């Protein structure tokens, strides 16, 4: 029985010790793209090294259209509450380097 493998597409720090990670999801047996995952990752630090731990839950998105609709939903919510990301650039948490995980 095969499992799943994940290829990270993007990772963004949204709290001091939390990332939001969007990944492609593949079937380990045949390498077929199954869809996308949106997961929350806790970032632990020990002896100067960071480790990302994925939390239970998240969103399973079946195709590119679903991923685009997630972006649209987030954009609409930001627009409704008057958020312009450019005005928050100087206050966002330090971006996480992909190679750290």
pLDDT of residue 44: 94
Look at residue 50 and tell me whether its pLDDT is greater than 50: yes
pLDDT of residue 79: 86
**% of residues, the chain, pLDDT over 90:** 59
What does the longest C-alpha to C-alpha distance in the chain come to? 48
pLDDT tens readout for residues 63-83: 999 999 999 999 898 888 888
pLDDT of residue 28: 96
Torsion of CA 91, 57, 3, 37, to 10 degrees: -40
- In angstroms, the CA 42 to CA 51 distance is 8
Look at residue 86 and tell me whether its pLDDT is greater than 90: no
pLDDT of residue 77: 87
């Amino acid at each position: 029985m095969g499992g799943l493998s994940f290829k990270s597409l993007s990772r963004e720090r949204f709290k001091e010790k939390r990332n939001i990670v969007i990944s492609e999801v593949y079937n380990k047996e045949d390498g077929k793209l199954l869809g996308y995952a949106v997961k929350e990752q806790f970032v632990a630090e020990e002896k100067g090294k960071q480790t990302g731990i994925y939390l239970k839950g998240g969103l399973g998105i079946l195709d590119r259209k679903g991923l685009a609709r997630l972006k649209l939903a987030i954009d609409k919510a930001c627009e409704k509450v008057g958020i312009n990301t450019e005005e928050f650039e100087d206050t966002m948490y330090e971006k996480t380097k992909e190679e750290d995980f």
